[in-house]
Structure formats: structure tokens, C-alpha cells
Amino acid sequence: MESEPIAEEWKNLLRPLSLSELRHSERLSTLPTRMRSAAPYPYYGIEFGEPLYRCALSGRDFVVFGRDLGGYYAADDGDGDGTVFYLYTDDGQAQEVFANTSLEAFCACHNLFIEYAKRRAAREIEAEAAAEVLDRLLREKDPSAIENDETFWPMRLYELSEDFFPLDASRLDFHRRRSEPPPSLL
């Protein structure tokens, strides 16, 4: 995982965290194993693993274990099962949105979503059908993750159903071009 925060707003909120420090957390000691089971997805810059960060936000102590083009995946270290949230910025303010009730549920839901995004990219399934099947499967894995339209997974299902979720490298290439300095005119 890239070491620089994705947006300026995060530079003061994220503190580096080592795997050895994480082993002292009763609640999140399984995080290193879980991170390895979550599938990366290059077309949206989804990566999991080191570097890890701590982030105090809205009275919660998060451990950031992954990222994508829009934000960070984080587990609540103060919660019994490591509830997973997605951290992002809205109008320059750091925000969090509930994703899953546990790390295990997050990995299961994430891997199902990536499987169907890849099937969608291969044109094996229509966008609306993929979202409908995923809605049912995610409800089976973690009903709380789908019960509110303002949470992470309903947002991702909407993106997939409307073909907003990237199925190729074009969005990633666009973000890379935006972050590169302009070519010299000389």
C-alpha cells in the first residue's frame, strides 16, 4: 500500500502503526491475516496491508488497513469485533461510514463484491443483475451492512448497478495523470 495519505486532510489525522504494535491489540490481532485474504482491485486502486495507520476520528480509534482512490478502510480498535468503516473526505472534512460488523464480514463482503465487479468487467453479467445478486449475498454475510442505504455497501452496489464502479484502468489512469506534474514546455 502506498505510504502517502490520499488527501491533504488526512496528513494530520493518520499516525503510522507497525504490525508489532497491532499485535498488542486484543480486538485487532487477526487483522494481518484478514488483510491478506482481502482481494486487491487495481482498477480502483484498492490495496490492503502495510503501511498501517492509527486515526482518531469522531471519538473512535481506527486502525487503517487499506485504501482506494476515494478513501481508507479502517477497523474500530475500540469495538469488540473490529467493526469496519470507510473513511473519506466530504467538502474537505474527514468522514466515516459504516461498512461491516467485523473484519471477517468485511473480507467476505469485499471479496464477493470484487468477484462480481470482475464478472461485470468480463460482461458475464449485467450491471443491475450483478447488484441484485450481490445485495442478496451481502445480506446473508452481514445483514447490518445492507440495512441502511447510507452505509458503504449500498453505495458500492449503486455504483456497480449504474456502471459507475470502474471496470478497467481508465479511472486509475485519470487519477495518475492528475497527480503528475505537467510536462515541461521546454
- For 24-72, the pLDDT digits (tens) are 777 777 788 888 899 999 999 999 988 889 999 998 999 999 999 899 9
The closest alpha carbon to 35, from 48, 25, 23, belongs to 48
Same domain, 144 and 89: no
Residue 183 pLDDT > 60, yes or no?
Answer: no
Contact (CB, 8 A) for 115 and 149: no
In a domain, 182, yes or no: no
pLDDT at site 131 = 96
Residue 186: the pLDDT is 42
The domain in which residue 14 lies consists of 8-102
45 and 115 both lie in a single domain? no
Could you tell me the pLDDT band of residue 151, with boundaries at 50, 70 and 90? very high
The answer to whether residue 183 is domain-embedded is: no
Angle between helices 152-161 and 127-141 in degrees, nearest 10: 160
User: Are 54 and 13 within 8 A, CB to CB?
Assistant: no
Give yes or no: residues 12 and 43 share one domain. Answer: yes
Lowest mean pLDDT across 149-153, 159-163, 181-185: 181-185
Interval 77-124: pLDDT, tens: 886 678 999 999 998 899 999 999 999 999 999 999 999 999 999 999
Number of domains in the chain: 2
